[in-house]
Structure 1
């Protein structure tokens, strides 16, 4: 990575706080709130995502953001790329006709949904979120895109928790992570 990219990654890394035993005992929570509070750190995140997309993808039609922290980074990136932004929400949060998919969480089940007309067949999409842990939510988003007949170019996250192997669940889709723990 170029020197400028490396210094931006260091800035991002310095703005991620760790909270032991949150929300449950034994979990080390990685908090992105300091990134959002610091304009330089937030700009660094979006700069690095933008560089990755421009270098690796000739055409992107939409950025698809996951509820809720993907909503923080996705619109900023979409604006930079001059493409649209689409929401993937928890079931029951979107008006109108929706398409949904059920998926497993570490401690239960959930459903994600998208508005039926949000993504057209054949559109090229990148999916964005703040964190990749076990991959359940990102996998559900990929499945929603499959239902919509969209082409998932890849997934992008600020933080990846490598020991949980979430990237394995997302194969064959690629995962771009800024910071790995």
Structure 2
């Protein structure tokens, strides 16, 4: 579900968050309109508003684990976890964690990838939130859900800052709710100008 359609209709914070995300055309390959959240992180108010909206949503949901997907989920997850009194668990790409791990592979448009988590980081019965910056096909988030559920966690919801319009009707991943703040911005003459400044 999109935040703007669920209790935050007309909230000026959502517009400011959207406008703080820079669009980079043809990155990392031709035809891709890359949504660059590094400019959101440079805008203290928009960054704080992003975290605050997530915190307001999850504060009273009895979540004990915030799992961030490498790498951009790491930018939002720890702040949310601290504010709601949960632990932060990094879900990393292969061979990045030093201890014993469990892995979950998933299919990409061209090939496969994998997420790993430390064994013992999450206990059976813990309630988890999965956070990432953007959802496109949902493959990465679905792998994160499977990884957490394999160790007995209950995934309460997945949350992303940006969701592609084609996932608008897809309010669930692997049967779990999906919460999105904004849709991707399209490149306009104004954003072309600001990208060059």
How far off is 1:26 after superposition?
A: 1.2
**Structure 2 equivalent of residue 54 of structure 1:** 59
Q: In structure 1, the residue corresponding to 2:92 is in which secondary structure?
A: strand
- Tell me if the contact between 2:171 and 2:178 (Cα under 8 Å) persists in the aligned partners: no
Deviating beyond 3 angstroms after TM superposition, the runs of 4 or more aligned structure 1 residues are 164-169
Distance 2:27 2:171 in 1: 25
- Number of equivalenced pairs: 178
The alignment's C-alpha RMSD in Å is 1.8
TM-score by length of 2: 0.85
Deviations 1:92-120 (CA, angstroms, capped at 9, x unpaired) = 11011100011101111011110011100
| Distance in 1 between residues matched to 2:165 and 2:77, nearest whole Å | 22
TM-score, length-normalised on structure 1?
Answer: 0.92
CA shift for structure 1 position 165:
6.9
Structure 2 counterpart SS, 1:90: coil
1:76 to 76, 79, 96: 79
Aligned-partner Cα distance in 2 for 1:21–1:165: 24
Give the number of the structure with larger relative contact order, counting CA–CA contacts within 8 Å between residues 6 or more apart.
2
Which residue of the partner structure matches residue 37 of structure 2?
32
Query: Which of 121, 125, 129 is the equivalent residue of 2:132?
Result: 129
Unaligned 5+ runs, structure 1: none
Per the alignment, residue 26 of structure 2 pairs with 21
Larger Rg: 2
| CA drift at 1:49 | 0.4
What's the counterpart of residue 155 of structure 1? 158
